[in-house]
Structure 1
Amino acid sequence: MTIKLLAIGKTDDKQLAHLIEQYIKRLGHYIKFSIEIIPDIKNAKNLRTSQQKEREGQLILSKVATSDTLILLDENGKQYDSVSFSELLQKHMNSGIKQLIFVIGGPYGFSEEVYQRSNGKLSLSKMTFSHQMIRLFFVEQLYRGFTILKNEPYHHR
């Protein structure tokens, strides 16, 4: 299985980008992982919120194959502790799927088409964070999940 993180817009903060890269390298010991950045919509300020979500949704769905499992990082998603999240990862690996895709949407969330295509929603917190910070939190939790599955000391129980 491979895991991909799709995200709208690039990370401008070089320190955050560096930390994200460190976790991507660490994840390479456990699974094939990649981040794919979907560029921000041009002239978004001239669009209604619904139009922006629709355009971003089309771009997201163009990156997803019918065989992929799609999990949206969404404020209304299910919350897991780190151990439960690692168990979710194991469940997906055991299911035989080829690719698990997690998506961080744009500033207004996801279009209805993306919600309909998704296989689930995951919330990292009830708090609101910048999309750039969520990338770091997600890759760290993904790394933590794999260290839990391998019974390695990174996660202290």
Structure 2
Amino acid sequence: MRLHLITVGEPKLAYARTGWDEYEKRLRRYHKVQVTRVAGKTQAQESEAVARAAGRTPLVLLDPRGGQFSSENLSAYLDAQALGGTGELGFAIGGPEGHTDDLRSRAHRLWSLGQLTLPHDLAMIVLLEALYRAATISAGEPYHRG
């Protein structure tokens, strides 16, 4: 399956760059991964840039209004999308103000990482680790321990 990871900006802190690089490398063993970094001066510009980057790809927005996944449920969701969908999903992390209502209304799904507000850099690592963990579950590998 092809995963298109779209972020407003890139990891700025050293730990986040290291974590992003590590989990992106791991994730590439299971999926084709494309990374797009977008920018904008306003929430509207950022959301427009995310929409342009995604194109026709079904888009999962990281958003506090979304539903949550267990690791097993995320794995099952990705498997179902790979089998019944386009074989491609986009995942987008917005900027400090989040996504616009217009972009939310066009999203395939809203996904909340939890009730905590995470720093942008940390949310990027959590996204990649969650996708990697889901991939190892699907592959029946021992990384995930229930």
TM-score range, shorter chain: over 0.9
One-letter code aligned to 2:113: L
Per-residue deviation, residues 12-43 of structure 1 (Å, max 9, x unmatched): 1122111111111111111101321113x3xx
User: Is 1:118 the counterpart of 2:124 in the alignment?
Assistant: no
1:90 and 2:79 correspond: yes
Q: Secondary structure at the match of 2:54?
A: coil
Please, which of 23, 44, 55 is the counterpart of residue 65 of structure 1?
55
What is the one-letter code of the residue matched to 2:45?
R
2:95 to 106, 114, 119: 106
| Distance apart, 1:6 and its partner CA | 0.6
- Residue 156 of structure 1 is matched in structure 2 by 145
In the aligned structure 2, how far is the partner of 1:4 from the partner of 1:137? Answer: 16
Report the Cα distance in structure 2 between the residues aligned to 1:111 and 1:21, rounded to whole angstroms: 28
Residues in 1 aligned to 2:122 and 2:109: alpha-carbon distance in whole angstroms = 21
Work out whether residues 24 and 34 of structure 1, in 8 Å CA contact, stay in contact via their aligned partners in 2: no
State the distance in 2 between where 1:36 and 1:100 align. Answer: 13
Match of 2:46 in 1: 56
Could you say which residue in structure 2 is the equivalent of 1:18?
18
Structure 2: where are the runs of 5+ without partners? none
Length-normalised TM-score, structure 1: 0.88
Q: State how far apart, in whole Å, the 1-side matches of 2:111 and 2:69 are.
A: 8
Number of aligned residue pairs: give it: 146
Q: 1:98 to 1:84 in 2, by over 3 A?
A: closer
What is the aligned partner in structure 1 of residue 68 from structure 2? 79
d(CA) in 1 for partners of 2:28, 2:51? 26
Q: For 1:63, what is the secondary structure of its paired residue?
A: helix
Pairwise CA distance, 1:98? 3.6
Larger CA deviation: 132-141 vs 3-12: 3-12
Per the normalisation by structure 2, the TM-score is: 0.94
Percent identity between matched residues is: 29
CA contact 1:70–1:100 (8 Å) conserved in 2: yes
